[in-house]
Chain A
């Protein structure tokens, strides 16, 4: 459900970009969603499509790139790839993992006219 708020945040980021560098509308919106960001990609896409009519995002193609997660394993002292917060270290099976990457939802870039 928070994807609706996130979609609003994305629109805000794009509108701020337009203030800095004016354009008419967005034709491609590229997002990066980390595997640990707590974002449900299908719900986010739905929310963006629901929100976009009447905004500069209307008609924009939406590309959401899933970024893998990474964590620092405190037992083996190395960075390991993880795909959810429930994953154990693939090497030592420890749960002592500190997520380091894939925790953000970012607007990567936009293509505009």
Chain B
């Protein structure tokens, strides 16, 4: 007799449950009180197992989750965004395929920014699977850089950027701020500026142990230009599109030695970016690269895409790019 409903036809035994492959009829293997009706497949929730309270045995049940898989990353990215804002830092996430000239362009941008806006501190977070070659190249320009090696990973995520940002001290490189350092530490983190961290969050938050670090919360940001943080993502036109790092904008770099059809081949990345830098344009005379077509393709996946033609080698277009970075092009 079925112990659930009392019908005489039941064969809902332990062996049935164990041999069944369907989710609906799999019950705890220790069960002597089947919770699944073997004939109708009806589920008798709350009918037995839990009430009988057999150790190590629980009832099958459904749990509604309705959670965005990237939700935890997005939450930390929002904290990064607030953190950057509180420090007057504008962060840009630079994405491209390997070999587009990101690092060369960054080095040239840092040099040009230093001449154009010497008071604006610039720092870089470098993402690569392995080596610190890129961070070494950035440091050679005099700008502070933190290398993040993702190991097997194909992209940076928000917690990596949170940790890397904690290692950087953008303010220390700003001569006007040197006198602020002493009182900066006496500030409570929750006043003096808008700084909306939520340290009570359930997920692992790397900021919580960073405050002993020379990391100056509580500065007054009297220079309107603030600081610039370039985050050079892992060279990859696919995965970094999905991970918000807390940046103000994604900048996708496409070099003219690549195909003009890349925006259509990798639409997610071009859809996620705000600005496309068409790099190495000094090589255009030697190539069959259709600039107009490339821009058309980019706007097809992202109607709002801004496009600038640049060459890190010759400096062409660098002024317009720096205008954009400094927010003076509007």
**Residues of A in contact with B (beta carbons under 8 Å apart):** 1-2, 5-6, 9-10, 12-14, 16-17, 21, 23-24, 27-28, 31, 37-38, 61, 74, 84-86, 95-99, 104-113
Indicate if the CB atoms of A2 and B68 lie closer than 8 Å.
no
26 contacts between A and B (CB under 8 A): A1-B238, A2-B155, A2-B239, A5-B157, A6-B70, A9-B70, A14-B65, A17-B63, A23-B63, A27-B26, A38-B241, A38-B242, A61-B22, A74-B303, A85-B268, A85-B271, A95-B300, A96-B303, A99-B271, A104-B70, A106-B68, A107-B67, A110-B62, A110-B65, A111-B23, A113-B61
Cα A68 to Cα B150 in complex, Å, equals 33
Give the Cβ gap from B245 to chain A, nearest Cβ, in Å: 14
Residues 51-76 (chain B) with a chain A CB within 8 angstroms: 56, 58-73
Give the Cβ gap from B69 to chain A, nearest Cβ, in Å: 4
Beyond known contacts A6-B70, A13-B69: 14 more, CB 8 A cutoff: A1-B238, A5-B153, A5-B239, A9-B69, A9-B70, A17-B65, A27-B26, A109-B64, A110-B63, A111-B60, A112-B61, A113-B26, A113-B28, A113-B60
Contacts of B189 in A (CB 8 A): none
Give the Cβ gap from B243 to chain A, nearest Cβ, in Å: 8
Contacts of A21 in B (CB 8 A): 63
Contacts of A37 in B (CB 8 A): 242
Cα A1 to Cα B271 in complex, Å, equals 19
Contacts of B85 in A (CB 8 A): none
For chain B, which range describes its interface: under 10, 10 to 19, 20 to 34, or 35 or more residues?
35 or more
Q: DSSP majority for the B interface?
A: mixed
Question: Which of A17, A27, A106 meets B69, CB within 8 Å?
Answer: A106
Indicate if the CB atoms of A109 and B63 lie closer than 8 Å.
yes
Question: Which of A74, A95, A109 meets B299, CB within 8 Å?
Answer: A95
Cα A113 to Cα B29 in complex, Å, equals 10
Indicate if the CB atoms of B69 and A107 lie closer than 8 Å.
yes
B27 within 8 A of A: yes
Contacts of B82 in A (CB 8 A): none
